[in-house]
Amino acid sequence: MLIERRVIGNGGVKPACSVLQSLIVKASASESPPWKILLLGGGAAVGKSTVAARIARRYQTSLVPTDFVWLALQTVTDPTAHPELHYFDPAFSDFSLGAERLSERHVKTASAVSECLEPVVASLLLRDNERAVIEGAWITPLFAARKDFDGVESSGRVFGVFIHEPELTHVLHLMAARRRLSRPTRFQRLIARVCWLQGNWLAAEAARLGLPVIPARPQRSLVSRVLAAAHETPRHRTDVRTEN
């Protein structure tokens, strides 16, 4: 899909969000899951994409990777007006800040991307025969816990599940393996720590908001455990619209 390159000024990112709806991969459902939209979050290298793809195939639902949303937003925004969307763009990144500061930036980017997912979720809720799995590290627990999206009541149709890997060494191993590195570089170690810290924050926030947090291992049972969690009733929800 070609996206017209345009710049969003200080007025906000949301006018650009309409381009994101064309990222939705269409599919027709043959088996109905208990949810209309499954938000699958968690840090890097926990198996989100693999699980989301398997669940989407099982139920023949649409699949929305939030990495695509993030890249689209970078295309249509000015980094000076919306730096939070460009923190991890190689042209603008400052990796000398250290893992803790970069992790804080990761959270800010996730909050901004989640905000722009709101009209996408609302549009899906308004479509009678449309279901979707939306996955990625850019989904915040606060977003997944909302009762409405752009004024459209979720009415229990949107469910968030977060996958968590508590071991930094395992995150580093998987990230290095993806890049076919026999020995992780110093930069790879930094990025792994950033993603691990963000994953810990996501897990803690999800637990605080009553959303299920699923251990990433064992991988062989991850799909069934995510689906089992998506059948449970969330303990509580929030209407708060800002990140702490």
Asked if residue 162 has pLDDT above 50, the reply is yes
What residues contact residue 98 under an 8 Å CB cut-off, 6+ apart? Answer: none
Tell me the Cα Rg of the chain: 17
Residue at 8 is within a domain: no
What is the total count of domains within the chain?
1
Residue at 12 is within a domain: no
Q: What is the CATH number of the domain that holds 37?
A: 3.40.50.300
Residue 26 — pLDDT band, cuts 50, 70, 90?
very low
The per-residue pLDDT for 20 is 52
Residue at 136 is within a domain: yes
> Rounded CA gap, 169 and 12, in Å?
39
Residue 31 — pLDDT band, cuts 50, 70, 90?
low
Residue at 21 is within a domain: no
Closest CA to 199 of 226, 172, 164, 223: 164
Per-residue pLDDT, averaged over 56-68, amounts to: 96
Residues of the domain holding 112 = 31-229
- What digits encode the pLDDT tens for the residues 199-242? 999 999 999 999 999 999 999 999 999 999 998 755 444 444 44
Residue at 13 is within a domain: no
**Omega into 79 within 30° of 0, i.e. cis?**
no
Per-residue pLDDT, averaged over 115-123, amounts to: 96
The per-residue pLDDT for 29 is 45
Residue 170: CB atoms within 10 Å: 16
Sign of the dihedral defined by the CA atoms of residues 33, 115, 109, 83, in that order: positive
- What digits encode the pLDDT tens for the residues 125-156? 999 989 999 999 999 999 999 999 999 999 89
